Structure 1
Amino acid sequence: MKRQLIIATAAAAALVAAGTVTAVAVSNDGAGTARSGAPVTAQPAAHDAGSGTAQVQDRRSSIRMQDDDANGQEDIREARTAKVTASDAAAAAVKAVPGTVAGLDLDADRPGLVWDADVLGKDGKWHEVTLDAGNARVLNQHVDQDEDDDTRERAALHNARTDAGAAARTAAASHGTVTSVELDDDRAKAVWEVETVTNDGKEHKLLVDPQSGKLSAVPAHDADDDNDDDGADD
């Protein structure tokens, strides 16, 4: 099943986060590092006791951007503006919530430009982490209360030899900036589905095998289905 990445919008008293991360300098190959030369790190945000929700002093991204896809260029605009790569976002997410990343999505919403990360924590719970796309700072974090049967997805994540960050780096090496990574277990065999944008503005959808790490294009019939869905929305 595919899990929906949701940005928590609950209004709560702001507390100072336990730490921040250094801003990152990135390139289209997906290999982001801190501007100081050190790897990107993130500290867990402070929690409201008993609520399961992280509270951060400023929940807005350092990159102000509105969610506006009127001209169909939203993904391209977001990809060109983000300073944190998908692989760096994955690393920051598991630093905040130890576990395994199941999905990443670059999105402009009320907080600004952010990475939404879906993490299966070592505590066995699903966590949704919102990260600043400008510096990987944790903006929000909470436990997902979704009661859907996710046994298949959990097993696929547990058995994967290639994680979300590695899948993102593989796709970025030859296909530009990654804007989304998701473990798709609706197929006969689970696979990482990765969306990218190249410098010429073209969007690509790719598949990365969780076991071998091999990159491949989305099958033609899947691409046709996507085109049909796009047409149905018009």
Structure 2
Amino acid sequence: MKRRFVLAATAAAVLIAGGATTAVAVNTGGPGSPQSDARTSAQLAATAGAQGAAADGGREDREAGESGDAGRVAGAKSDAAQAAVAALRAVPGTVTEIELDEERGALVWEADVLGRDGAWHDLTLDPLTTRVLRSHTDRDTSGAHGQDRVRAALHGTTVDAASAARAVGQGRGTVTSVDFEDDHGAKAVWEVETVTRDGKEHTYLVDPRTAAVSTAPADDRDDHDGSADDHDGADD
């Protein structure tokens, strides 16, 4: 039988961090021995501490991101209603979506307008002055039946994009997007997204006939992608 030699003397180090004390001991005990159990406990405690620190760091990153969202919104100066009105001055018709977005690192308002000329118009507006920076007209008639569907859904409505933004923007945060959804259950609605001062996003539904505001169901908030390219129900 070979004898077990002690190659290192027992040492202890105590680290105090965040009110917790962790002791690490060097020993030669085998698996199942008191020394081994103590070493395993210390390793688990150290791992838990590292995971806690990582979680704290992730939470701080999320909070910083939320603060950044609020800061970007504050830098827009103009609101969604003003941007929608400006888009209609440039292209007569109906604004079906207005969204605050970033383009090449710069903040802009992007608007979709179903024009009186029967075409979709994509506009980019300055968030400070609401001046139209760029405009693109899609005269592809392949999606004409999609336009007809949107027009049918809009028929008889009395609440436009600007009005929907004003209805939600009273005490519910800063409106970052207004989107006409004609496939929202049995009736069409305006889907309005906001950002509050704490950087949190919220989604509301506005009745296009009465301007009544309700909170969007969780599933609708998760499924909505806010893509301006979809032209709010127009077929691709």
Structure 2 length normalisation: TM-score? Answer: 0.61
Judge conservation of contact 2:70–2:198 (CA < 8 Å) in 1. no
The answer to whether the aligner puts 1:99 opposite 2:93 as a matched pair is yes
Q: Which residue of 2 aligns with 1:169?
A: 166
- Which amino acid in structure 2 is aligned with residue 219 of structure 1? P
Change in Cα spacing, 1:137 to 1:185, as seen in structure 2 (3 Å) is: same
Gaps of 5+ in 2: 1-61, 225-236
Change in Cα spacing, 1:111 to 1:152, as seen in structure 2 (3 Å) is: same
Of residues 115, 120, 142, the one that matches 1:121 is 115
Of residues 181, 193, 202, the one that matches 1:195 is 193
Bigger Rg, which one:
2
Q: Which residue of 2 aligns with 1:222?
A: 220
Kindly state the Cα deviation for residue 159 of structure 1 after the two structures are TM-superposed: 2.7
Q: Which residue of 2 aligns with 1:210?
A: 208
The answer to whether the aligner puts 1:156 opposite 2:153 as a matched pair is yes
Q: Which residue of 1 aligns with 2:84?
A: 90
Partner of 2:73, secondary structure, is: helix
Of residues 153, 161, 180, the one that matches 1:183 is 180
Q: Which whole-Å deviations, capped at 9, do the CAs of 1:65-122 have from their partners, x for residues lacking one?
A: xxxx9x6446433312111100000000000001110000101112721100101111
1:124 & 1:131 partners in 2: Cα distance? Answer: 21
Query: Which structure shows the bigger proportion of residues in helix conformation?
Result: 2
Change in Cα spacing, 1:109 to 1:218, as seen in structure 2 (3 Å) is: same
- Which is worse superposed, 96-105 or 214-223? 214-223
Percent of pairs with identical residues: 54
Gaps of 5+ in 1: 1-68, 227-234
Q: Which whole-Å deviations, capped at 9, do the CAs of 1:146-199 have from their partners, x for residues lacking one?
A: 533412212122332100000000110121110000001122211000000112
Change in Cα spacing, 1:75 to 1:152, as seen in structure 2 (3 Å) is: farther
2:221 & 2:113 partners in 1: Cα distance? Answer: 27
Q: Which has the higher contact order (CA 8 A, sep 6+)?
A: 1
Judge conservation of contact 2:69–2:199 (CA < 8 Å) in 1. no
Structure 1 length normalisation: TM-score? Answer: 0.62
- Which amino acid in structure 2 is aligned with residue 86 of structure 1? A
Partner of 2:170, secondary structure, is: helix
Kindly state the Cα deviation for residue 200 of structure 1 after the two structures are TM-superposed: 2.2
Change in Cα spacing, 1:75 to 1:124, as seen in structure 2 (3 Å) is: farther
Judge conservation of contact 2:109–2:125 (CA < 8 Å) in 1. yes
Of residues 71, 75, 79, the one that matches 1:77 is 71
Count of aligned pairs between the two proteins: 158
Alignment RMSD: 2.3
